[in-house]
């Protein structure tokens, strides 16, 4: 059985509420109703997308994560903008963005090396950390405002999760397969 999975940071409920409220405000720019807004319960920051993996690889990933993340500290993620972000020729997002801090980029690299050591062929693209608030076709009529509403939010990332992605009636549904806590911030 194959499982579509990815490593992610989940967000504290307080941050989810702020982001959901911010996304509500951004709906006003979606004049042609082209954006598929993500259900706030599904908000996350993808660290490393694995694609289809097999069940035994989940156990291997968990073991590797427990070893390699033992010394890794929790981190603060500064969400400093929510804007239009064109991901590819086909897909665009409305996403909360964060600066690429050394800690976050190192955690991304660690998750990529764990995936590779579990025998997963990781397709490295540019990693631009973000939280997807909505998705739309890259060919759209979305008119970006001259100035996006400000966002200035800190989110504690104190665990890494492996999420399974399954299609749901209103977009994908993400279910945790395992969660590894990070060390408390000193
Ligand atoms: P996102 O992080 O921009 O929202 C599950 O599909 C999650 O992995 C989504 O959050 C998705 O986008 C992210 N992701 C990253 N690379 C992907 C890829 N090649 N295919 C599908 N999803 C990908």
pLDDT digits (tens, 9 = 90+) for 138-162: 999 999 999 999 999 999 999 999 9
In the predicted model, is pLDDT for residue 105 greater than 90?
yes
Q: What is the mean pLDDT of residues 153-177?
A: 95
Percentage of the chain lying above the pLDDT 90 cut: 93
The helix/strand/coil state of 165 is strand
Distance 57 CA to ligand 1 centre (A): 19
pLDDT class for 126, splitting at 50, 70, 90?
A: confident
Judge whether 89 lies within some domain: yes
pLDDT at 47: 98
Does the Cβ of 57 fall within 6 Å of ligand 1?
no
* Cα separation values, 170 from 23, 131, 147, 161, Å: 17, 18, 30, 22
186 located within any domain: no
- Ligand 1 pocket mutation, candidates 11, 43, 49, criterion most atoms within 8 A of CB: 49
In CATH, what number is assigned to the domain containing residue 62? Answer: 3.90.1140.10
186/178 Cα distance (integer angstroms): 25
Q: Residue 140's domain spans which residues?
A: 2-181
Q: Work out the mean pLDDT of the chain and round it to a whole number.
A: 96
Domain-located, residue 133: yes
Q: How confident is the model at residue 20 (pLDDT cuts 50, 70, 90)?
A: very high
**Model confidence band, residue 124 (pLDDT cutoffs 50, 70, 90):** confident
Query: Measuring from atom 2 of ligand 1, which residue has the nearest CA?
Result: 46
Distance CA 163, CA 12 (A): 16
According to DSSP, the residues that pair with 136 across neighbouring strands are 92
In a mutational test of the pocket of ligand 1, which residue from 6, 53, 115 has the highest number of ligand atoms less than 8 Å from its CB?
A: 6
Any domain includes 105? yes
Mean pLDDT of 53-61: 96
Is residue 156 a part of any domain in this protein? yes
Instruction: Look at the chain and report how many structural domains it folds into.
Output: 1
Is residue 112 within a helix (H) or strand (E), and if so which, with residue range? helix 102-117
Q: Quote the tokens at residue 113.
A: 């090396």
- Is residue 150 domain-resident? yes
Distance CA 17, CA 14 (A): 5
Q: Whose CA is nearest to atom 16 of ligand 1?
A: 49
- Residue 53 is assigned to a structural domain of this protein: yes
The whole-angstrom separation of Cα 78 and Cα 156 is: 9
B/e letters for 130-167, b = 16+ CB within 10 Å, e = fewer, are: bbbbbbbeeeeebeeeeebeebebebbbbebbbbbbee
Residue 171 is predicted with a pLDDT of 87
């Amino acid at each position: 059985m194959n499982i579509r999975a990815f490593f992610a940071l989940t967000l504290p409920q307080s941050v989810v509420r702020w982001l959901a409220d911010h996304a509500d405000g951004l709906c006003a720019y979606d004049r042609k109703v082209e954006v598929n807004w993500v259900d706030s319960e599904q908000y996350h920051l993808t660290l490393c997308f694995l694609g289809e993996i097999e069940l035994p690889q989940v156990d291997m990933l968990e073991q590797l994560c427990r070893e390699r993340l033992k010394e890794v500290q929790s981190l603060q993620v500064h969400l400093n903008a929510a804007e239009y972000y064109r991901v590819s020729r086909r897909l665009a997002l409305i996403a909360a963005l964060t600066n690429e801090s050394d800690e976050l980029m190192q955690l991304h690299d660690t998750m990529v090396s764990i995936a590779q050591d579990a025998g997963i062929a990781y397709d490295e693209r540019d990693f631009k950390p973000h939280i997807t608030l909505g998705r739309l076709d890259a060919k759209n009529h979305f008119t970006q405002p001259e100035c996006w509403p400000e966002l200035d939010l800190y989110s504690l990332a104190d665990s890494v999760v492996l999420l399974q992605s399954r299609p749901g009636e209103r977009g994908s549904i993400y279910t945790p397969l395992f969660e590894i806590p990070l060390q408390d911030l000193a």
